[in-house]
Each structure stands twice: as structure tokens, then as C-alpha cells.
Amino acid sequence: MTEFILGSASPRRRELLAQIGVTPDRVVSPDIDETPRPREAPRALALRLAETKASAVAAGPGAFVLAADTVVALGTRVLGKPADEAEAAAFLRKLSGRRHRVFTGVALRGPARNWNRAVETVVRVKQLSEDEIADYIASGEWRGKAGGYAIQGRAAAFIPWIGGSHSNVVGLPLVEVANLLRAAGLRR
């Protein structure tokens, strides 16, 4: 039997996989350095981090490892996971009234070969008031979220438009993941 490992501690990624009927045999949180390289483009960063995570997971010889990384970019500037409330509020002010891009790199490491994809979604945030920002920060939902917001939570009220995959913004582009799993022979 082929083992399928999710290389991510994100409960959102497990929930998204469940939506397409996929349950990992094991979940492993890879510990890697996520520091961007100088002048590294956001798409390249997302893909490199996903590939590095997939490679960092110990797996048996016949196992498949799926890993992903999501990057929020305003132009070429990456807005990572905010360190504190002040940084989260600063991110929301930067995103307010603007479009930004969300890239998720997905890597599937198999016994004989590897597959990877980088998916881009454009997201528009409405003009946010200081009260909306303060209320969102007080909710704590921003913690651990790239760009300081969660589209699947309260921040959904801030997003009037997206171009591309909604599940990509949550953290795992399901169409592309299903296609990778099919290409690897893990799904029909």
C-alpha cells in the first residue's frame, strides 16, 4: 500500500484535502528556514518553500509527500505571517483598497519523480476603516496567516473580488492538487 503524507501542520490544508476526498495517512510538519532569498520573486519563493518542505519530510521508499507554501505579495514585496498586532495592522493598511497576489507553491514528492506547481490568485481588498482593522486585529484571526488575514474567516467581508482559485488563497489550490495526485496515479 502506498503511503500518502501531508507535509504541513496547517489544519486548513487537511480540511481542503478532505473536501476532495483525500485523507493523508500521516501529517508531518517540516521544520525549514522560510527566509526569502535576496530579490527572490514571490512565485519562486512559494515554489521553493513547497519543494523544500516536501524534501524535508522523512518518508519510506514508496511514499508520496505533498507540501505547500502560500505567499502574499503586494507588488514584489512579500507580506509574511505578522509577528505581532502592530505588523498585522500595518499589513491590512497596506492591502486596504488595493489588489494583491497570493501564490501557493505545491510540491508532490514521489518514489520515482516529483511534481510541482505554483498557482496565482489576485485578491482585491475593499477600503478598510481603522475600526474594521482594529476589530479584525482584536479577533486574533490574523495570527499565523500570510498577509495577516484569513479569507475563509472574518476577512471574507473585506474581499469584494478575487481572480482565480479561492482555495489557493486559503492555502491549497484544489484543482491543481487533484491534477497532481491524478498524474502521480493516486487518484482516478
- Choose, from 33, 69, 84, 135, the residue flagged as catalytic: 69
Question: Is 69 part of the annotated catalytic residue set?
Answer: yes
Comparing C-alpha atoms, which of 167, 187, 181 is closest to residue 70?
A: 167
Give the C-alpha separation, 168 to 172, whole Å. 5
Q: What radius of gyration, in Å, describes the C-alpha atoms of the chain?
A: 17
**55: amino acid identity, one letter:** S
What's the number of CA atoms in the CB half-sphere (13 Å) around residue 129? 4
- Whether the CB-CB separation of 171 and 104 falls below 8 Å is answered with yes
Give the C-alpha separation, 149 to 70, whole Å. 12
Q: Which residue has cell 486574533?
A: 140
- Angle separating helix axes 174-183 and 11-19, nearest 10 degrees: 70
Q: Which residue has cell 495577516?
A: 148
List 109's β-bridge partners, or say none: 65, 114
Known catalytic residues?
A: 69
